[in-house]
Amino acid sequence: MNSLSLKQPWASWVADGQKTIETRKYKTNCRGELLICSSLKPVFPGLPCGQALAVVNLVDCRPMTKADEKMSMCEIYPDAWSWMLTNIRKIRPFEVKGHLGFYGVDYRINIGDVLQTIWACRKCGCTDKQACEGGCHWVESDLCSRCWAED
């Protein structure tokens, strides 16, 4: 499975559905399932390091906008790209030797490994836990009413 290591606390925020937009200084054409792993360093007390934490669907990649700051949990920066994550499945953690960029891990998601599933809007990144300002609801499994109305 394609995998990506994130530093803590960002890796845990993705696994918990608090962060549904990953930002990078480069775009990607990669789409589909992605194993989210926590980097070995830096160590954050109480947060897992060097472990696979979640499986997500990478559904879009676009230039970062000011509106992405909330769900990316960072401020906009020059040349930033927003990688839109949805269908976040927190899994039983297991050790992974991480790498920079995308890398392969021999893993197939098993229903027994899924601890929690969080859906996120493929356009704005909102979730059930963090709805759009003013509220929204689901019109598709990965599209909120606010983004649907904008189309």
Distance CA 67, CA 76 (A): 9
Tens digit of each residue's pLDDT (9 = 90 or more) over 114-151: 887 888 888 888 887 788 888 888 888 888 898 888 87
- The three-state secondary structure class of 4 is strand
Which 8-state DSSP code applies to residue 129? S
Report the mean per-residue pLDDT for the chain: 90
* pLDDT for 8 beyond 80: yes
CATH code given to domain 2-121: 2.30.130.30
CA 38 centroid distance within chain: 12
Distance CA 86, CA 130 (A): 13
Distance CA 30, CA 33 (A): 9
> Domain spans of the chain?
2-121
Q: Burial level of 90, CB count in 10 A (0-12/13-18/19+)?
A: buried
pLDDT for residue 109 = 79
* pLDDT for 36 beyond 90: yes
* pLDDT for 111 beyond 80: no
- Contact in structure between 33 and 55 (CB atoms under 8 Å): yes
pLDDT for residue 69 = 94
What is the percentage of the chain residues whose pLDDT exceeds 70? 100
Query: What angle is formed at CA 87 by the lines to CA 29 and CA 145, rounded to 5 degrees?
Result: 95
Question: 3-state secondary structure string, 21-86?
Answer: EEEECCCCCCCEEEEEEECCCCCCCCCCCCEEEEEEEEEEEEECCHHHHHHHCCCCCCCCEEEEEE
pLDDT for residue 22 = 96
pLDDT for residue 138 = 87
Distances from the Cα of 110 to the Cαs of 45, 103, 107, in angstroms?
29, 20, 9
